[in-house]
Chain A
Amino acid sequence: DSGVTQTPKHLITATGQRVTLRCSPRSGDLSVYWYQQSLDQGLQFLIQYYNGEERAKGNILERFSAQQFPDLHSELNLSSLELGDSALYFCASSPGTGGHNEQFFGPGTRLTVL
Chain B
Amino acid sequence: SQQGEEDPQALSIQEGENATMNCSYKTSINNLQWYRQNSGRGLVHLILIRSNEREKHSGRLRVTLDTSKKSSSLLITASRAADTASYFCAHHGGSNYKLTFGKGTLLTVNP
Residues of A whose CB lies within 8 Å of any CB of B are: 2, 4, 33, 35, 42-45, 48, 55-56, 58, 88, 90, 92, 97-108, 110
Residues of B whose CB lies within 8 Å of any CB of A are: 3, 30-31, 33, 35, 40-45, 48, 88, 90, 92-93, 96-104
Partner among A2, A56, A88, A110 whose Cβ is within 8 Å of the Cβ of B98:
A56
**Known interface pairs A42-B3, A43-B88; A103-B40 also in contact (CB < 8 Å):** no
Q: Which residues of B contact A58 (CB under 8 A)?
A: 98
Shortest A5–chain B CB gap in Å is: 11
Shortest A92–chain B CB gap in Å is: 8
Task: Indicate if the CB atoms of B42 and A2 lie closer than 8 Å.
Answer: yes
**Known interface pairs A42-B3, A43-B88, A98-B92; A103-B41 also in contact (CB < 8 Å):** no
Task: Indicate if the CB atoms of B99 and A99 lie closer than 8 Å.
Answer: yes
- In the complex, the chain B residue whose C-beta lies closest to that of A101 is B48
